[in-house]
Amino acid sequence: MSSLLVDNIGELVTNVAGTGEGGPLGIRRRAAVLVEQGEVAWIGPAADAPAADRRVDAGGGAVLPGFVDSHAHLVFAGDRATEFAARMAGQPYTGGGIRTTVGATRAASDGELRTTVRRLHAEALRQGTTTIEIKSGYGLTVADEARSLRIAAEVSEETTFLGAHVVPAEYADRPDEYVGLVCGPMLTAAAPYARWVDVFCERGAFDADHARAILACGQALGLGVRVHANQLGPGPGVRLGVELGAASVDHCTHLTDADIDALASTRFDCMCPDGGHTTTVATLLPGAEFSTRSPYPDARRLLDAGVTVALATDCNPGSSYTSSMPFCIALAVREMRMTPAEAVWAATAGGAQALRRDDIGVLRPGARADLIVLDAPSHLHLAYRPGVPLIRQVLHNGVPQ
């Protein structure tokens, strides 16, 4: 059995609260990590490290769990660079461009879609993302949603059916019929390739009744719930997600006090090792506010209320064409009143909670050996040195990339 030792670590962020310094980050110094069979086998003082077949010298850099990007739309064709330029010249973002991408995606071959998914997946991995959730949502026919998820499932086990992204043009005057299609044949065809169901619950997309019906159909097929909520304005999405026990409500840009109270009071029983409960996470997507030049959500308000916050990229060709978790961390710290430690936790352990996973986003024996080595001595540098490629080395399933 081949083993690998990561040593000469400047600081080790474990995300095991109560271990070492840094509160929830559980920072250990002079530590080493032993990896065997794709898992963390041992963590302890470097001086006591067992012998291993191979060594990764962290060069005094910080070592962290790989980033968990719990919200991305990677299955699409074409881009919307001119729409972005128009926004930067003053046009508002309405989500109307989604239909442009739907047209391009339907016209693309499986091979073209696969090439884009793999390119973006590799781009994210190079930037330290070792788990990425991938949504459908640019096909919006039975066949195109199913193939989007089939292709997504080739690179990620975290796949999400978003057939209710918008009502496609051909159903514009028959939204009830489209909801029937989504709940029936589309979900039947797509569910075998999906772990989650998501709905864009927003004015101009799906209202609370339609969203509730679609999410319930997904749940009945065994899918977990997540919701695109409160992105463009206040609305029912967050409270609907809480009502249905969603793992995460995402965007959360426009929140009322009642939305925050609802999120703060979530506590569901589960088979988790850490006390048997989990919550609905608020996943914030600052790349979307950056790329749509919109006001950022106030993470401080959520954190101070006791809500669990995750950070993700929302990588998509319309509202946030970035695959960079370090960029999102920097934005969260600068624009959303998060501390660097909170942002790093949200981009790793927070993302894992948003996917209801306890084997990633954390470094402890038995966890997946997904870790990154920074070209910097501390996690603080991720926000302190924005735009600088600080990811020196990535291990995914224990394998150096």
**H-helix segments, 127-185:** 142-152, 175-181
Tell whether residue 131 is a contact of ligand NIG (CB under 6 A): no
The site partner of 206 among ligand NIG, Fe ion, none (C-beta below 5 to 8 Å per kind) is none
Nearer to Fe ion, 14 or 148 (CB): 148
Nearer to Fe ion, 228 or 357 (CB): 228
CA–CA distances in Å: residue 95 to residues 28, 89, 101, 206, 320: 44, 17, 11, 12, 12
282-301: which residues touch ligand NIG (CB under 6 A)? Answer: 288
The residue ranges that bind Fe ion (CB under 5 A) are 314
Residues pairing with 5 in the sheet: 34, 55
Based on its alpha-carbon atoms, the radius of gyration of the chain, rounded to whole angstroms, reads 21
Find out whether 15 is annotated in a ligand binding site: no
Q: Are 76 and 138 in contact (CB under 8 A)?
A: yes
**How would you label 263-273 residue by residue, b for 16+ Cβ within 10 Å and e otherwise?**
bbebeeeeeee
Q: Which stretch binds ligand NIG (CB under 6 A): 187-195, 294-302, 303-311, 317-325?
A: 317-325
Nearer to ligand NIG, 60 or 103 (CB): 103
DSSP 320: B
Q: Are 76 and 109 in contact (CB under 8 A)?
A: no
Tell whether residue 362 is a contact of ligand NIG (CB under 6 A): no
Tokens representing 44 are 């302890």
Tokens representing 34 are 């032993």
Nearer to ligand NIG, 204 or 386 (CB): 204
Tell whether residue 316 is a contact of ligand NIG (CB under 6 A): yes
User: What is the smallest separation between the CB atom of 228 and ligand NIG, expressed in angstroms?
Assistant: 5
198-257: which residues touch ligand NIG (CB under 6 A)? Answer: 200, 228, 231
Binding site feature residues: 71, 73, 80, 138, 165, 228, 231, 314, 316, 318-319
Residues that bind ligand NIG (CB under 6 A): 95, 97-98, 101, 200, 228, 231, 288, 314, 316-319
Annotated binding site for Fe(3+): 71, 73, 228, 314
